[in-house]
Amino acid sequence: DISPEVKNVPTLHGSGPFAASPKFAAVGSPATLVNINLPASSNLFIRKGSLVSLNGNLKDITSTLSLLNPVTRGLTATPTLYTKITSLSSVNILLGSRSSAFDTFTVLSLDGRADWKVTQKSGVYAWSGPSLSVSTKLDSKMNFANWATTLLSGRGQVALLAKGQVYQIKVEEGESIAINPRSLLAYSTT
């Protein structure tokens, strides 16, 4: 039994001063799916054609096609078509890759302290966050195959897709590491 006062407390949603944050979770070992818990009134951007399932009230969901930096990304053969999903009620969304059985997902949580550069053209798969910025930058320091990077800055969650297993390596100050550029998925910047 819940008192009427408690029933009338507003529920959290993705907008307003006390907004709930979307929750991303890579599923499986290796992680071949991403589960996203999307609060009401939040925006989610997913790679076109990646939706596996959706659990929620379909009448509350709005889906529109979105282009991400079409000129720069088009010139570099980087995916530009994303679907923007917004819902009036909370929903759970499951995403999967259509390209290869060897693709794996990893989730980045950005807290505003560090930006990330994604070096793989197809690396950014989904993102959500009220202050998350996703933009394309040309980086002449990278090899020709990876010279168009995606810059992630602000606060939010991002699902990244890689060919093969994903490993996180922390390089401390004063240390260095040599990595084949084709194997590098993303790195943090300040």
pTM of the model: 0.80
The tens digit of pLDDT for each residue in 142-158 reads: 555 556 788 899 999 99
Q: 3-class DSSP state for residue 1? A: coil
Say which CATH architecture domain 20-165+178-189 belongs to.
4-Layer Sandwich (3.60)
Type and span of the H or E element at 85: strand 81-87
Amino acid 30 reads: P
Q: Find out whether 112 and 187 touch, Cβ atoms under 8 Å.
A: no
Q: What are the sequence ranges of the domains in the chain?
A: 20-165+178-189
Distance (Å, whole) CA 24 – CA 41: 16
Closest CA to 95 of 30, 51, 32, 160: 51
122-132 pLDDT, tens per residue?
Answer: 888 999 988 88
